[in-house]
Amino acid sequence: MDRRDFLRWIAVSAGPAFLPARAWAGAAYERLLILVELKGGNDGLNTLVPFADPAYHRLRPRLALRREEAIQLDERNGLHPALRPLLPLWQAGELAAIQGLGYPSPNLSHFRSIEIWDTASKSAEYLQAGWLARAFAAHPPPAAFAAEGVLVGSGELGPLAGGARAIALNNPAEFLRQARLVQPAMRAGNAALSHIRKVESDIALAGARLANAQASLRTEFPRGEFGNAVRTACQVLAGGAETAVLRLSLGGFDTHQNQPGTHASLLGQLAEGLAALKSALQELDRWERTLILTYAEFGRRPQENQSNGTDHGTANVHFALGGRVRGGLYGAPPALDRLDGNGNLPFAVDFRSLYATALARWWGIDPAPVLNGRFETLPILKA
């Protein structure tokens, strides 16, 4: 399928995205969503490498990966060699890459751009609640869940900020110790005290449900911070605690200087972690009921900088993985011949389409009110 065919196919298959309201099956939260944040802005061009594009080599005389270095997926694209642990998923048709994710009038500040991604806002719009918090406010996950969202590796609530029943933990035992400091208030009070009471009872509930989160798994987890985060996430699930969302974080992608070694190491951690995640989810018989999505504030500039690194960019490639993912390449390849005034890529797919896909196609809830608008869903999931 060449690019034009592909775009036409997208247009056709995205048609049914506009379903009437009555078609929403309603909040299938037994299906787990795992978000993996690549903090700092992963370099998409050296993640899914367009090795056949001469512009790529022209823009990156030092950083470009050669065809023979990349793990070739087709005639044009290859994975960074450090992503080899993901190759079995690709071959099994369980790994999708969505190219060109971004938004209009991109912001190049880490802080602001991740806020835009977290709140699913427009570039010049300031929303307080995260997109998942809004989804859960409209369609609450079951009260029996330990939490609506569990964050591992970073305390920032991100997409769950602003009202979701979310807990951040680095290791469950430590969380349980902390939770003991919470003394759910005995008496009723004003709005401010009620809010604190609610958060305290969220913590207490999560604490009670996480009591078994020490369960051991046969899967071997990679060493290092991300491997530990994956292990923690899997232990929560293995202990029987339910949640609608798990958010993992891997930091360090802001590779302005001497990118090659750092980037390879980060992608290696990511790939090994994701492979272990698949193994553990299979062990728990949840692989078919899990959708994993990566995201980041932005991609990096196509032109390499003077320090053997890359500066803040815009549109980026992200991965979707899972037992029900329809593997392959989606979106549009990077248009290296159409860079903007800052030398950055135009976007091809609005990032809110990815969210709309998770909301509509994964959970069966109407994405339009959550995302304040209609965004086409992507055909990355099997029916």
Output the smallest distance, CB 306 to other proteins, in A. 9
Kindly state whether residue 146 participates in binding other proteins, applying the rule CB under 8 A: no
Among positions 81, 140, 184, 251, the unique one binding other proteins when judged by CB under 8 A: 184
Kindly state whether residue 165 participates in binding other proteins, applying the rule CB under 8 A: yes
SS3 content of the chain, % helix, strand, coil (to 5): 40, 15, 45
Kindly state whether residue 181 participates in binding other proteins, applying the rule CB under 8 A: yes
Give the Cα separation of 41 and 62 in Å (integer): 20
Give the Cα separation of 203 and 197 in Å (integer): 10
**Near other proteins by CB under 8 A, which window of 93-101, 181-189, 260-268, 340-348?**
181-189
Among positions 93, 126, 214, 288, the unique one binding other proteins when judged by CB under 8 A: 126
Give the Cα separation of 370 and 374 in Å (integer): 10
Rounded to 5°, angle at Cα 94 from 90 and 95 = 55
Handedness of CA 65, 66, 71, 76 (dihedral sign): positive
* DSSP for 91-149, written as a single string: HTT-EEEEEEEE-SS----HHHHHHHHHHT--TT---SS-HHHHHHHHSPPPTTSSEEE
Residue 244 exposed, middle or buried by CB count within 10 Å (0-12, 13-18, 19+)? buried
From residue 187, alpha-carbon distances to 60, 183, 196, 201 in Å are 63, 11, 12, 13
Q: Give counts: helices (H), strands (E), the chain.
A: 11, 12
Residues in 226-255 at the binding interface with other proteins, rule: CB under 8 A: none
Output the smallest distance, CB 103 to other proteins, in A. 16
Give the Cα separation of 351 and 357 in Å (integer): 10
Instruction: Centre a 10 Å sphere on the Cβ of residue 335 and count the other Cβ atoms it contains.
Output: 16
Output the smallest distance, CB 197 to other proteins, in A. 7
- Select 204 or 264, whichever has its Cβ closest to other proteins: 204
Among positions 71, 199, 217, 368, the unique one binding other proteins when judged by CB under 8 A: 199
Q: Say how many residues touch other proteins, by CB under 8 A.
A: 45
Residues in 296-355 at the binding interface with other proteins, rule: CB under 8 A: 307
Output the smallest distance, CB 156 to other proteins, in A. 8
Kindly state whether residue 193 participates in binding other proteins, applying the rule CB under 8 A: yes
Give the Cα separation of 102 and 135 in Å (integer): 21
Kindly state whether residue 151 participates in binding other proteins, applying the rule CB under 8 A: yes
Kindly state whether residue 225 participates in binding other proteins, applying the rule CB under 8 A: no
Kindly state whether residue 257 participates in binding other proteins, applying the rule CB under 8 A: yes
**Near other proteins by CB under 8 A, which window of 19-27, 167-175, 327-335, 372-380?**
167-175
From residue 190, alpha-carbon distances to 163, 184, 185, 197, 261 in Å are 18, 15, 12, 10, 54
Kindly state whether residue 122 participates in binding other proteins, applying the rule CB under 8 A: no
In this structure, the strands spanning 78-79 and 147-152 are: unpaired
Kindly state whether residue 216 participates in binding other proteins, applying the rule CB under 8 A: no
Output the smallest distance, CB 177 to other proteins, in A. 9
Among positions 179, 267, 292, 317, the unique one binding other proteins when judged by CB under 8 A: 179
Output the smallest distance, CB 148 to other proteins, in A. 10
Kindly state whether residue 109 participates in binding other proteins, applying the rule CB under 8 A: yes
* DSSP for 236-256, written as a single string: HHHTT--EEEEEEEEE-----
Kindly state whether residue 166 participates in binding other proteins, applying the rule CB under 8 A: yes
- Select 191 or 383, whichever has its Cβ closest to other proteins: 191
Kindly state whether residue 196 participates in binding other proteins, applying the rule CB under 8 A: yes
**Near other proteins by CB under 8 A, which window of 47-55, 158-166, 266-274, 366-374?**
158-166
Q: Which residues bind other proteins (CB under 8 A)?
A: 109, 111-112, 115, 126, 128, 147, 151, 155-157, 161-162, 165-168, 170, 174-175, 178-179, 181-187, 189-193, 195-197, 199-200, 202-203, 206, 257-258, 307
